[in-house]
Structure 1
Amino acid sequence: MKKSIYILSLFAILEVAASCSEDLLDQKNPNSLTVTEFWKTEQDAQNGLNAAYAMFYKTGSWSRWMYFRYDLTSDEGFSNSPWTELADWTRFQYVNYNFWEGNNNSWRDHYKAVFRCNQVLANVPLIEFDATKKERILAQAKFLRAFYYFNMAILWEDVPLVLEPSEPDDLPVQNTQAEVWAQVEKDLTEASQVLPGKWEISGEVGRPTKGAALALLGKAHMQQREWPEAKAALDYLVTGEGKGFYGLVPNYKDNFTHTNENNIESVFEIQFSDVNKGGDADDPNASMGNTRAQFFAPRSIGWSDGQARIWLVNEFKNEPDVDGNIDERLRHTLFYSSLEADFGDKTYGRSWEWGADEAWFRKYQRDYYRTNEDYYSQINQRVIRYADILLLYAEVLNELSTTADAYQYVNIVRARANMAPLEEAYPEIGTDYDKFLDRLKTERVLELAGESFRWMDLKRWGDLTSQEGINELKTRDPDFNNFVLGKHHRLPLPQIEVENNTNLNQNTPY
């Protein structure tokens, strides 16, 4: 699939094709297709879908800035970037709501992705070709649209739902977060009824499956604290017919390298590639790489705009494994001063050269085979992996007052890390709801730190909407001293969008 999803310059043309209505400007370009000329064949349908996938490679999407929003804004990470405004957008100091790298770029690229999905959903039904292939293309477009609205519901909350191909002069009405979630649920439910449990053709590996759709649906329900609905969706992956497709890879490290991608632990991952060395425009040679590694690498190796909080290192060392050793996951999660002493590992082939109280995320870095980083990392981003699903399922069971049944799913994750069963390590938890949830929060950090889940977790647990929660976060992350309760749990809308669209209201109290 990596080779098949190339950026189509055609769709940059399609996106602006309707922007001029004056006769003088309404001239046909002999070197390009118009919207009415394009959607004719099965290949057109597939190309249109590929253009929607291509939005993963944009900087406002998963090529760059999403990691700043999810990893660095949470208590797991921070920024000491010399680019002050960039760092400010990880520490709740939002002065310029139009800051491109912190807000506008991600807003634009999310809606560009939605536009491309809407193009597919509006035009492909009119093309005559194999019904099964057509339905699967439409299901993928629904999954992708839901995926982007899922992120918008997390980041901005109240955003316009645009469900048809838009025109330049449209002024979409602002929807509530609840309405956005309802659309996400609708798209994912419909997609899950069509998508296969597994793609059989090698070139299709990496496309969303039935399990991916139901996993994202379960996550959407969980963010709304709809526990029975979340369990019903996640059942497919954990106890239902989809269980056979998933498991944990023996080597934890394999979840973060390019050498064992799309493995049994992958529920959905973005297919990155280092084949093209171009920019992020809509041209055939545009980059399909991930720039996270360049921005998150230690100083002198990358830009070092993103770092990890040192409390994470200490958390890993609080409990030894069954052999009395340090939790092996620490080795693959973080760079830190005693990494070489603890595990014999150097950082990018060199001994530690940075401060003793500093740490960086090791996940998705390429020190396992090179000594520097660039803008073209080929490591796939595991957006949903099975260990995450198992821990979420345990959380759902605890919320449904079946805590005793939840232990087994946490223990599957702990066993891979050679950690003792939870009930043996912490017998005082028993079936106490609060104690189990508190421990589960730690289990998610140990397994998933630096994987862009933490901000969603904090929102779901209510830690961003109570003063008690913020006070606790302050003890781990001083940036939360800037956090204003009732405000910073979501981003401001780009101010230019509010000023240009009379149907939009700025998120209060911005």
Structure 2
Amino acid sequence: MKLIKNIILLCSAAFITNSCQQGLLDTNPYQAMGSGQMWTNESLADMGVNAIYNTFRYDRIGRRIYMYDALANVSQNRDGEALLQGTATTGADLFSGYWKEHYEGVSRANDAITNLPEKAPLSAEKMGRLVAESKFLRAFFYYRLNEVFKGVPIYTTPTSVSEYTLGRETEAKVWEFIISDLTDCINEPNFPDRYVKGNSLYGRATKGAAYALRGKAYMWLKEWAKAEADFKKVGEAGYKLFEGSYSDLFKEANEQCEEMILTVQNIGVVNCGSDTQKALGTRSSYGSGWNTFCPNPDHVDSYANIDGSPFNWDDIIPGYNLMKPNDRVVFFLRDNMTDAEKGKINSPEMSQYLPEGNEARIMKAYENRDPRLKMTIITPYSTYRGVLSGKENTVTLRHPYRTDNLPEQDLQLASSGKYYYLYRKFVYEGLDETPSRDYGPIDQPIIRYADVLLLQAEALNEQGKTAEAIECVNKVRARAGVALLNSNQYTQVAGQDNMRERIRNERRWELNCEGVLLFDEMRWRTWENTFKPTNGTKEIWGGIYKSCAAWKGDYMYAWPIPLKECQMNTNLIQNDGWTN
């Protein structure tokens, strides 16, 4: 049973309001009674803390965090993204929504941290646990705010909207505050290391999660030894890699495995599940999705071969790399095209089309690759177990599309006439997974042990402990079924710099759709690589559908303080480079 999932239903119906007052959401989320009454018995205290967890239902905190990968050039937003296209202003919802949702979480946590000790009739053991949970969640919200805004106001007590007048603390001061809260959690004897599958409290914050988040904060501060020590503590708390396949890790049956440290607790009930089926799924998916977010072809090309050697299109089709992107469409066309279909293809390379064998030729590009590629992404001419008119329908990703009915059974995209890579990860298949387009039951990972292992490897490598870093990465690679580092000529690590890039790529391949890669790119200060006119939304062969803006300068590494918040609180000073 998923306690948090079920409690959320009650909290949402009886106690939570999403009303806002111009900027920050209402600091009093309890419509049925005043905040002071909220903590006067054990049941209400439980609901008050569960109200903090309820913020994970918000899009930018937990429910739709996969969308951040579209800013990291790993995924792409088929509808475009204002920030990448260079049109985002300080009033953009990306910034204001992120600020508003995370500060509502802060507000609810402050309410609990202040009122639980003063008013709640709880045992010492439960009091210690609930306060620790609340401090962990407050630290999490401030962590996420500090990642992008680089210094924010720190509120520690229940505060009305009219009293939100503090100026910004420095980025360093906010990291110090986050670490202090997490240290309190870690030092609380009644805060458990972790919960095992089936425990009625599974889904709540744990000491292992606190170590993981504190280690992440130390990574931003480049305090590598402290980060290393915290990440080791996560393993000692009982977290470890899931022993099955990478694809099985993201199935409902395994969502409470030892690898999951912090997750959004989803359930197949309206407003209490994920919406990946709609955003990542296709028209052939159960419920008819929109494939709004698709894998970026540049990211797909980055997946190495299974032996660790780099993938090169010229090894499959000589001369491919020198061709103009849109001319490459010829290699992705289906066998036995009609004359009418051929007439719609605008490529001077049609002489290279094979009426028989065109599909087989392109499929070779995806053979013998890192197995996570096909477990994450639906590649050309691979199959997908969809649903059509209430019945299972195995379809194939072909181009050009004809019909998803018999005899063709083509996979249907939401964009007519276009040809994108599509996600398989977090997209339900067949009738047996029984989702709906709007509320899938699979939990959304926020922190999992593979993430921690790769961060531990980074912390070790930055201290010059490259051999130990290799051991951490190889644990992840072994589960993936790809050649281990230092096992052959292609995987031989050539020093600290080479290892640094290998770790970064490993994170890009391992953590796609999990909402962490944008923040990696910002922390590494490599995000500018996304902002190139040659990037943007692309079809499989690299042809640009929506172009990207050029990088405007290092000021982009700090998001603007939302315009509305600056107007409400004149003590907020805007980040350099942004104009209100």
Show the counterpart of 1:106: 98
The letter for the 1-side match of 2:233 is Y
CA distance in 1, matches of 2:36, 2:478: 56
Which of 551, 561, 564 is equivalent to 1:496?
Answer: 564
Find the aligned partners of 1:72 and 1:373 in 2 and give their Cα distance: 24
Q: Name the stretch that deviates more: 385-394 or 362-371.
A: 362-371
Q: Indicate how the Cα distance of structure 1 residues 372 and 270 shifts in structure 2: closer, same or farther if over 3 A, else same.
A: closer
Quote the offset at 1:490 in angstroms.
Answer: 3.0
> Percent identity between the aligned chains?
29
Residue of structure 2 equivalent to 1:280: none
What is aligned with 1:506? Answer: 574
Question: What pairs up with 1:298-447 in 2 under 5 angstroms?
Answer: 298=282, 301-320=288-307, 325-340=368-383, 345=384, 349-352=394-397, 353=411, 358-367=420-429, 369=432, 374-426=437-489, 429-430=492-493, 432-447=495-510
Matches within 5 A, 1:22-41: 32-41=32-41
Residue 80 in 1 paired to residue 78 in 2? yes
Residues 407, 422 of structure 1: 8 Å contact kept = yes
Alignment partner of 1:168 is 2:161: yes
Query: Shift of the alpha carbon at 1:429?
Result: 4.4
2 CA distance for matches of 1:427 and 1:473? 32
Of stretches 473-482 and 181-190 in structure 1, the one that deviates more from structure 2 is 473-482
> 1:283 maps to what in 2?
none
Q: Distance in 1 between matches of 2:434 and 2:6?
A: 26
Q: Distance in 2 between matches of 1:338 and 1:316?
A: 18
Structure 2 residue matching 1:487: 3-state secondary structure: helix
Give the aligned partner of residue 276 of structure 2. Answer: 292
Q: 2:219 aligns with which of 219, 222, 233?
A: 222
Task: Structure 1: give runs of 5+ residues left out of the alignment.
Answer: 18-28, 82-86, 278-286
2:17 & 2:473 partners in 1: Cα distance? 49
Change (3 A) 1:446 1:36: closer
Mapped partners of 1:426, 1:80: distance in 2: 38
Give yes or no for contact 1:254–1:261 (8 Å, CA) kept in 2.
no
Cα 1:268–1:49 change in 2 (3 A) is same
Report what 2:192 is aligned to: 196
Q: 2:552 is matched with which residue? A: 484
Matching residue of 1:47: 47
Query: Per-residue deviation at 1:319?
Result: 3.6
Structure 1 CA distance, aligned partners of 2:83 and 2:229?
35
Q: Is the 1:60–1:107 contact (alpha carbons within 8 Å) kept by the matching residues of 2?
A: no
SS of alignment partner, residue 59 of structure 2: coil
- SS of 1:307's partner is strand
Q: Which residue of 2 aligns with 1:232?
A: 229
Is the aligned partner of 1:5 residue 2:8? Answer: yes
**Is the Cα contact below 8 Å between 1:361 and 1:450 reproduced in 2?**
no
Query: Which sections of structure 2, spanning at least 5 residues, go unmatched?
Result: 22-29, 310-366, 388-393, 398-410, 538-543
Pairwise CA RMSD? 2.9
Is the radius of gyration larger for structure 1 or structure 2?
2
Distance change >3 Å, CA 476–CA 235, structure 1 → 2: farther
* 1:110, distance to aligned residue in structure 2 (A): 1.0
The 3-state SS of whatever aligns with 2:262 is strand
For the 8 Å contact 1:143–1:187, the answer to whether it is kept is yes
Aligned residue type for 1:155: V
Shift in Å, 1:397: 0.9
Q: Deviation at 1:317?
A: 4.7
The equivalent of 1:247 in structure 2 is 241
Preserved contact between residue 76 and residue 536 of structure 2 (Cα < 8 Å): no
Q: State the match for 1:449 in structure 2.
A: 512
Q: Would you say the 8 A contact 1:487–1:508 is kept in 2?
A: yes
Q: 1:32-56 deviations in whole A, cap 9, x for unaligned? A: 3223333211222111000000111
Instruction: State the Cα distance separating 1:384 from its structure 2 match.
Output: 1.1
Which amino acid letter does the alignment assign opposite residue 201 of structure 2? E
Q: Indicate whether 1:266 and 2:260 are aligned.
A: yes
Secondary structure in 2 matching 1:3: helix
TM-score normalised by structure 1 residue count: 0.84
Cα shift at 1:177 = 1.8
